[in-house]
Amino acid sequence: MPLPYGALDYYQVHYIVQTGDDVNTQKFLARCEPITKGHFSEKRVVAVKWTGASAFADKLQQDERLTELLKQVLLHEREVRVDPLDGHVRIYGRWNHDENLKANPVMVEIADIIAGHIKAAL
């Protein structure tokens, strides 16, 4: 029986960093999660934790500017992921409803900083 719905009203913005086919992109696997305090309207992000490929995750964890920007968006984004694929690396956050169809300039800056770390490691 076919599903009763078509295209979903959700989207996910992906930032793509081209690396080339001869690069081992697996060393760029990382995931950032917020460390929060408080509940409901008092909830705030006090720190971030990067997990994944240890050297790359450590490099991202040490970037203070990146951490400050992540504290601003992680309540909304919930997490930021960096996924290696063949020939490129994706940087993305959570799925958003189409009512919120706009690019977050802080998330764009975060992706740019992460992309800079990826390009520096190449």
* Most confident segment among 8-12, 66-70, 76-80: 66-70
Between CA 33 and CA 85 the distance in angstroms is 21
Q: Is the per-residue pLDDT at 29 higher than 80?
A: yes
Q: Is the per-residue pLDDT at 2 higher than 80?
A: no
The whole-model pTM stands at: 0.86
Mean pLDDT of the chain: 89
- The phi, psi pair for 61, rounded to 5°, reads -65, -35
Domain range summary for the chain, segments of one domain joined by +: 12-120
Instruction: Assign residue 40 a region (left: φ > 0; alpha: ψ between -120 and 50; beta: otherwise).
Output: left
